[in-house]
Structure 1
Amino acid sequence: MTVTLDILPVLPELFVALCGLILVLIGVFRSGDPTRPIATLSIMTMVTAMLLVWALGPDRQTGFGGLFVADRFAAFAKQLILLGSILSTALAIPFLEREKTTRFEYPVLVLFATLGMMVMVSANDFMSLYMGLELSSLPLYVLAAFHRDSPRAAEAGVKYFVLGALASGLLLYGISLLYGFSGTTSFLGLARSFEDLSGPPAVGIVVGLVFVVAGLAFKVSAAPFHMWTPDVYEGAPTPVTAFFSVAPKIAALCLLTRVMVEPFAAMTDQWRQVVVALAVISMLVGAFAALTQSNIKRLMAYSSIGHAGYILVGLAAGSVLGVQAILIYLTIYLFMNIAVFAVILSMRRMGRHVEGIADLAGLSKTNPAMAFVMAVLMFSMAGIPPLAGFWGKFYVFMAAIEAGLYPLAVVGLVTSVVAAYYYLRIVKVMYFDEPVESFDHPIGSAPVVAMSVGTMVVLGFTFLPAPLVTGAKAAAAALFPTG
């Protein structure tokens, strides 16, 4: 009976792992091209996993001897991760079929990467954290180079692998220092050891914490650890870039939030300085480096760096309101980003995929519906009210102001204004430039559905914010049991 109760919180992850192994066997032994049926089964697996996460209920449960925790925060993060993986997989299959690069390994790799992310956000110990991180990272390295005949994709895969290995090394070194000076890798044990400190923490603890933050900053593509992001976003196949921009980013940011807030709650003053620096540099790089970009995927890479900076503003607050703001921002970001990449995946001319911002010229005349969707999404990403993107930034800046971080909020506002230029430049190109040849009609319903859902969320959040705001608040409170 004890074993059953210990495994129950891990049921969604065990289900995904088992289904992933079965899908590998189906792919190996099935004749013909099994990519589409395996992708369908993979999506069904992730939908079932979402239901299992919901069925576990709101109570905090631990498994595997305290290495794994299932609570409201983990459940909220897992729902976002699974939703991002489902949408990006649905977008990927028509693209891979058109490019004649279908292989059944694609949806299986996405499934195993998603499994690693689910483990990451439920980690309650640095050992389980590292296992989840590597389980998600290894499939991502392969996905980045999935077009093995493309030099750009191969370069993206190698860069991602090398810098990812460096990040893992930094993280492991930080964990070893924390273990050496505290005697434990458990989040609960670390929190208790830091609460009992009468004076300032040992230098080794602080250095270890800095290395841990640096290692995780690579994963969230926060500047100055962002150097892999533009090249990988541009070089990887577009559906892989769409996947990278949502699920792994959400998982890494939620993991960073849990690590900072739970084991290091007593050291908020020490880690806040590092997080504030990461947030400021990320917002500045995201705002200014994107101004000169002509490739839309590369522009979205710098945009993601900027958004990571805004989300870190919420983390710097170190409060329930700050974590609530992070979860609201991530939810809105998920729908905005998937819809934008649905538009990018629809940018095909004469059967060839195009990526230049100039290729959108005159889109309002050749495809008014797509131009409207892209304009709404760009306005939202720029943070223009009353669209959902405005509310995401509103909540993180309010959390910073409540925590007394006024300069950080001011930097956020200024960089938002600067970043608005390159978002509005896309709108200007679509509506005021002379039209070029129209795009091919989108193949399949997935891009249309993704664009429609994303647009509805962006337009409708202002009128129905309560479910997300209430759910995010409950999830954030799970990290502050005494608050």
Structure 2
Amino acid sequence: MTAADLQALLPLLILAATSLFILLGAAFLPGHRTAYLITIVGMLVALASIRAAVAQAPHLVGEMLVIDAFALFYIGLLLLAASVVTTFAYDYLKKIHLKAEEFYALLTLATLGGCVLAASNHFATMFLGIELLSVPLYVLIAYVFRKNDSLEAALKYLILAATASAFLLFGMALIYAELGTMHFDGLRDNLQAGIGERRGLLLAGIALMITGFGFKLAVAPFHMWTPDIYQGAPAPVTAFIATISKGAMVALLLRFFGAIPSDQSGAVFTAISCIAVASMTIGNLLALRQTNVKRIMAYSSIAHLGYVLVAFLSGGPQAIESATFYIVSYSIATLSVFGLLAALSNADGEPETLAPFKGLFWRNRSAAVFLSLAIFSLIGIPLTSGFWAKLFIFIAGIQSGLWVLVILLALNSAIGLYYYLRILFVLYSPTDELSELSSTTSPLNRSSFVILAALTLLSLTIGIHPAPLLELVKMLVTTL
């Protein structure tokens, strides 16, 4: 490995070293605060090191990892989101009185797995990244082992992740048998040259890969236990799954299927279109019946990933731009929602149902305002980042002639208004009763308030002036 390779891989190497330092700190300087400081400093240093990696971009490392503007953008996004989750987790873990060092080590390793996915250019590194992302989550989901639903959620995630890995491995094997290559670039070159005589074998492999991606993204009809996992996992872990895990898989999806020539009459396009329609429709319709905030967000995430698939299907540069912009906006809003749940938690649990939020504005105005603006962004209200995110997907779909998908996206967005507005109605409802969870009446602690305020300000800034982020996203097209 050359010096250029090491410089290009610097963010990943720092993350790996951070996880080792956390374990060493747990052995020689045990303590929750020490583990948190090592984690947050390591992530921020890794984020700063992206500047050094940019000097080498685009750079191919061992033909398995490609460090380009696209990879570095997503690595930066994942590191920022992980830093936010880490801060929320610090206050959350103090409340539930559990040993925390292992939590931060697992969180760092899972983040490393997501960063590997963003830079993968080979089936081997793709599978390594997926497993490095998934395995720590088995433990993180069950970290509050005193809760039966946490253990149940971890078991269900284990089954889903194992199923996804099986589909992916079998799909990789069939594609390799057909094309004789495991490189994404080789896949593109072979497909552009002609699929060959055994078309069925390649399509079967791609179908299995789509199924594996479907399980990992938790899109319909592969969503199954996703709401149970969201509900059972600790709030910071749910935030990680909803943002970092999904963001890494979207980056992989764009890079992997970006190697396949777009063809609106092809089987791959038809299959992903059906998944997009099912995800938007099922996600929004099932969310209508929920009274648990985490389950509402789970079904909402299924719908939002369906919107991202519409952007992906538009093909060309606009697919990367609109999908990436949407992931950024969705991550900001989702981190705000789950961060607020974590901040309002106490040793007795989390305010999951709508009941504790009734009249929240009159008891905890800052929390109500943060939650309201996050929901506004998820709806797509103007002056929030979510407005531009949905608008760009509409534009991309219209430019590509995806009229059916665009119309269904508009109809499903209207359906989504109901359950989002129901949360807002509860927040501002007058009530004379005390909240079911006393923590909802307490002011937010300083660190949570600062992070939530920063996320809200970022959403509003992008909503008012989206040009800087859009220009940054457009730069990714030149390297992908």
TM-score bucket (shorter structure): over 0.9
CA distance in 1, matches of 2:110, 2:432: 40
Structure 2 stretches of 5 or more lacking a match?
Answer: none
For the residue of structure 2 that corresponds to 1:69, the secondary structure is strand
For the residue of structure 2 that corresponds to 1:138, the secondary structure is helix
Kept in 2, the 8 Å contact 1:340–1:451? The answer is no
Letter in 2 for 1:296: V
CA distance in 2, matches of 1:117, 1:291: 31
Please, which moves more after superposition, 312-321 or 430-439? 430-439
- How has the CA–CA distance of structure 1 residues 191 and 463 changed in structure 2, closer, same or farther, with 3 Å as cutoff? same
Is 1:80 the counterpart of 2:77 in the alignment? Answer: yes
Kept in 2, the 8 Å contact 1:7–1:63? The answer is no
For the residue of structure 2 that corresponds to 1:66, the secondary structure is coil
For the residue of structure 1 that corresponds to 2:66, the secondary structure is strand
CA distance in 1, matches of 2:372, 2:298: 18
Instruction: From 87, 91, 97, give the equivalent of 1:90.
Output: 87
1:161-176 matched pairs, under 5 angstroms? 161-176=158-173
RMSD: 1.9
The Cα of 1:365 is off from its aligned counterpart by: 1.5
| Residue matched to 1:473 | 474
C-alpha offsets along residues 8-46 of structure 1, whole Å, 9 cap, x if unaligned?
A: 322211221122112212212334xx2221111111111
Kept in 2, the 8 Å contact 1:310–1:412? The answer is yes
For the residue of structure 1 that corresponds to 2:428, the secondary structure is helix
Letter in 2 for 1:449: V
Kept in 2, the 8 Å contact 1:194–1:266? The answer is no
Letter in 1 for 2:403: Y
| Residue matched to 1:18 | 17
| Residue matched to 1:196 | 193
Kept in 2, the 8 Å contact 1:142–1:157? The answer is yes
| Residue matched to 2:29 | 30
| Residue matched to 1:363 | 360
| Residue matched to 2:6 | 7
Letter in 1 for 2:150: A
CA distance in 1, matches of 2:55, 2:452: 32
Kept in 1, the 8 Å contact 2:239–2:335? The answer is yes
Kept in 2, the 8 Å contact 1:194–1:267? The answer is no
CA distance in 1, matches of 2:287, 2:464: 32
Is 1:154 the counterpart of 2:151 in the alignment? Answer: yes
C-alpha offsets along residues 332-380 of structure 1, whole Å, 9 cap, x if unaligned?
A: 1111111111222233479653211121111122222222222222122
| Residue matched to 1:372 | 369
For the residue of structure 2 that corresponds to 1:353, the secondary structure is coil
Kept in 1, the 8 Å contact 2:337–2:371? The answer is yes
C-alpha offsets along residues 205-242 of structure 1, whole Å, 9 cap, x if unaligned?
A: 11101111110111111111111210010011111111
Letter in 1 for 2:13: L
Please, which moves more after superposition, 40-49 or 61-70? 61-70
Please, which moves more after superposition, 2-11 or 286-295? 2-11
Please, which moves more after superposition, 451-460 or 333-342? 451-460
The Cα of 1:265 is off from its aligned counterpart by: 2.9
Is 1:71 the counterpart of 2:68 in the alignment? Answer: yes
| Residue matched to 1:285 | 282
| Residue matched to 1:301 | 298
CA distance in 1, matches of 2:22, 2:345: 31
CA distance in 2, matches of 1:436, 1:81: 41
CA distance in 1, matches of 2:132, 2:58: 22
| Residue matched to 2:445 | 444
Q: TM-score scaled by structure 1?
A: 0.94
Is 1:265 the counterpart of 2:261 in the alignment? Answer: yes
Is 1:243 the counterpart of 2:236 in the alignment? Answer: no
| Residue matched to 1:397 | 394
Kept in 1, the 8 Å contact 2:358–2:426? The answer is yes
Kept in 1, the 8 Å contact 2:25–2:34? The answer is no
| Residue matched to 1:256 | 253
The Cα of 1:55 is off from its aligned counterpart by: 2.4
- How has the CA–CA distance of structure 1 residues 350 and 140 changed in structure 2, closer, same or farther, with 3 Å as cutoff? closer
Please, which moves more after superposition, 21-30 or 53-62? 53-62
For the residue of structure 2 that corresponds to 1:56, the secondary structure is helix
Letter in 1 for 2:160: L
| Residue matched to 1:424 | 421
Is 1:107 the counterpart of 2:104 in the alignment? Answer: yes
CA distance in 1, matches of 2:16, 2:51: 18
C-alpha offsets along residues 38-62 of structure 1, whole Å, 9 cap, x if unaligned?
A: 1111111111111112322276433
| Residue matched to 1:231 | 228
Q: TM-score scaled by structure 2?
A: 0.95
C-alpha offsets along residues 282-318 of structure 1, whole Å, 9 cap, x if unaligned?
A: 1111210000111111111111111111111111112
Is 1:414 the counterpart of 2:411 in the alignment? Answer: yes
Task: State the identity %.
Answer: 33
Kept in 2, the 8 Å contact 1:379–1:424? The answer is no
Instruction: From 309, 314, 320, give the equivalent of 1:312.
Output: 309
- Matched length: 475
Letter in 2 for 1:97: K
CA distance in 2, matches of 1:43, 1:240: 16
For the residue of structure 2 that corresponds to 1:265, the secondary structure is coil
Letter in 1 for 2:457: M
